[in-house]
Amino acid sequence: MILHEFFSYELLRVIWWGLLGVLLIGFALTDGFDMGTAALMPFVGKTDVERRVIINTVGPVWEGNQVWFVLGGGAIFAAWPPLYAVSFSGFYLAMFVVLAAFIVRPVAFKYRSKKDDPVWRTRWDRALFISGAVPALLFGVAVGNVIQGVPFHFTDDLHTVYEGAWYAKFIGLLDPFSILAGVVSLAMLLMHGGAWLAIKTEGAVQERARRYGAQAALVAVIAYALAGVWMAFGIEGFRITGDYATGGPSNPLHFEVARTASWLSAYTDRPWIAIAPALGLLGGLGAFLGLRAGRGGLAFLSSNLSILGVIASVGLTMFPFIMPSSSDPRSSLTVWNSSSSHLTLFIMLVSTVIFMPMIMAYTAWVYKVLWGRVTETDVTENSHTAY
């Protein structure tokens, strides 16, 4: 009870905002190279054996990596219920497409090698490509929409109303800035997948992965820089006006919110957060140079740092907003008005402190055991155990 009182409601909200970011970054770092590898496969693997090599670099770990996605969704549901309700209903069609792609992936992994038929395997290879490229693109599109504000509002009894026709919930997401954000996300994960293949393969597959990964890294850096300039001069931000209580009740209509000239005013208030976009840009350049120079380890480390910086820059720039409303700014969801109760956040934190180290230790052990390059000999001589 004393410990519960030590963690104030305000502190727990900030901790869970940070943990949500950790889960999203963990998902992007792990399942990100799975998606990037799948999206690169048609370009990097020219023969059936080469494509099997690519598949076997992620085959043993992709299921564990995808758990981060489930953890992220669970954390949103438990720690930020209004955010879960608004995002999963407002982005319903886009989320359905992402989940359909994720469902296709395990089926493709399991069924691809069931028949030694080129047509059969080509179809499943296309399915794997879709399962990697489509979610990578749509995750960025979703972030682009959140940055601009999502057209929803709450009624007086906190019923959520999403503006526009049902088809606008998908087609309406594809505005120019959100498409640019999607390009950033897709290129970033292609870079990550190329760096992963650079350290997990050899020969022709490795050379092609390095080439396409370097190109993707360059596109990611340029697109990310353009998105930053667009945010500075072309997109209005949000700010809380008047007095507000950071430890007050979770009522989205409790605060007054107004539009501001730019999201980048946050860097005037908190200059230290500039480290995040700097890390995103420098990490991408490091991945580009590492892939070009044939230094796979440097490229993969830099790719991880770039992803960390890009995702962190979004969260830090928008803080304390989590999902602003473009149609009714007062309905915007923030760290201070959309969390679960004080007790719920505390119990979740205790559970996380106990179980998260165990999960991360087991994950590290799995990667250690499965570390090493995948060769053509491995997949041809172990046809019954390899994908």
Taking a C-beta distance cutoff of 8 angstroms, is the pair 201, 53 a contact?
yes
Q: What is the pLDDT of residue 173?
A: 80
pLDDT tier for residue 369 given thresholds of 50, 70 and 90: confident
For the segment 6-25, the average pLDDT, to the nearest whole number, is: 92
Per-residue pLDDT of 307-360, as tens digits, reads 999 999 999 999 999 999 988 888 899 999 899 999 999 999 999 999 889 888
For the segment 260-282, the average pLDDT, to the nearest whole number, is: 91
pLDDT tier for residue 384 given thresholds of 50, 70 and 90: low
Question: In the predicted model, is pLDDT for residue 219 greater than 70?
Answer: yes
d(CA 106, CA 22): 25
Per-residue pLDDT of 139-152, as tens digits, reads 999 999 999 999 88
Residue found under tokens 């999902």:
323
Q: What is the pLDDT of residue 386?
A: 63
pLDDT tier for residue 153 given thresholds of 50, 70 and 90: confident
Per-residue pLDDT of 297-309, as tens digits, reads 999 999 999 999 9
